[in-house]
Amino acid sequence: MYKVIYDTDPGVDDAMALLFLHRHPEIDLIGITTVFGNASVDTTTRNALFLKREWDIEAPVAKGANVTIDPLRKEGAWPTFVHGENGLGDIEVPETVDLPLDPRPAHRFIIETVKANPGEVTLVAVGRMTNLARALREAPEIAGLVKDVVIMGGNFYVPGNVSPVAEANIHGDPEAADIVMTAPWKVVVVGLDVTAITTMSRGYLADVAARGDRAVKLLNDLSQDYIDFYKHAVDDGMMVHDSCACVYVVAPQLFTTVRGSVRVVCGGIADGQTIVKPDGRRFPPGDWDGLPSQVVCTGIESEKVIDLIRDTLLGI
Ligand code: BDR
Ligand code: CA
């Protein structure tokens, strides 16, 4: 069993990934931590509680960061044109959900849960990296206690999605992402190189919903506006970014990777760009030296990934 803490900003594709984690038989979802990104942390936390209630998820929800690790960074507007005003495709969601939150802030929940399960926890982070960076700053020793970290974020050999060179989760808090990439733990980076070519069509999702229970029908409903948004890039379908990171946990053989140290550009016109120095390539001394070698996904068997998501949602 993989013990997973899911750090998330739900978020439409976050919701699909949550249902995947909840339903995959080899995954023990032991916590959900929320972060700002697709909406404010108040909204993403309410959405996490809403999905927990609707989908009968046992894992506790701990509320996380609402500002970048560097508090002086200027915040942009929420991407309501992607995930809706309410972060869940503007389906009907109650103002508040009457379920208790874990009393700890997300980063402390992460620290304490990792310490209670040394060597066993996989952190799957699919929003800004702020909670993980906070956890590392407060308790750097957790780097040696986490099993591995799988993130959705970044882009290496393809363009970004919020600037020509940057992806949203990294661009939203580049300093935090650089802390996470350079810490002495194993990070697997599942970025746009693989997620932007892994799409689920409207018809495919509708078919899954027709065969599935009310949880899958809810997922189908909340995905409709997101699919509309992707008209510019996908033929009547959506990129399933965050689910790709979850699939990596249970099926890494569906990905091809390169290894190397990863840095994040902080500031300037390339703010949020992720850059890997592939192991074995020789350069003059530089800012990538002496850092841990991370795993960067460069290829994916998209059809198999999409089918695995379908089968998991349907409990096949
Ligand atoms: C990432 O940004 C968010 O909009 C999605 O939920 C995903 O985590 C894709 O760039
Ligand atoms: Ca996300």
Q: Which residues crowd ion ligand 2, with CB under 5 Å?
A: 9, 11, 14, 126-127, 242
Q: How many domains does the chain have?
A: 1
Q: Which residues pair with 256 in a beta bridge?
A: 299
To the query of whether residue 9 is one of the catalytic residues in this protein, the response is yes
Task: Kindly report the CATH number assigned to the domain that includes residue 267.
Answer: 3.90.245.10
**Mutation probe of ligand 1 site: the residue of 124, 169, 170 with most atoms within 8 A of C-beta:** 169
Model pLDDT, residue 180: 98
Model pLDDT, residue 75: 82
- Structural domain for 150, as ranges: 2-314
Model pLDDT, residue 226: 97
Side chain identity at 153, as an amino acid letter? G
To the query of whether residue 232 is one of the catalytic residues in this protein, the response is no
Describe the crossing of helices 41-54 and 12-23 by its angle, rounded to 10 degrees.
Answer: 40
Side chain identity at 314, as an amino acid letter? L
DSSP assignment letter at 166: B
DSSP assignment letter at 47: H
Residue 207: count of CB within 10 angstroms of its CB: 13
**Mutation probe of ligand 1 site: the residue of 7, 130, 152 with most atoms within 8 A of C-beta:** 152
Q: What is each CA distance from 212 to 73, 203, 209, in whole angstroms?
A: 43, 14, 5
Q: Is residue 279 exposed (0-12), middle (13-18) or buried (19+ Cβ within 10 Å)? A: exposed
Name the pTM for this structure.
0.98
- Residues at CB less than 6 angstroms from ligand 1: 11, 13-14, 38, 82, 126, 152, 161, 167-169, 241-242
Model pLDDT, residue 76: 83
The pLDDT averaged over each successive group of 10 residues in the chain (316 residues) is: 98 98 98 98 98 98 97 89 96 96 98 98 98 98 98 98 98 98 98 98 98 98 97 96 98 98 98 98 97 98 98 96
- Give the span between the Cα atoms of 194 and 273, in whole angstroms: 16
Q: Which residues pair with 294 in a beta bridge?
A: 260
Model pLDDT, residue 63: 98
> If you measure from the C-alpha of residue 55 to the centroid of ligand 1, how many angstroms do you get, rounded to a whole number?
22
Q: List CB contacts of 244: < 8 A, sequence separation 6 or more.
A: 152, 190, 194, 195, 198, 300, 305
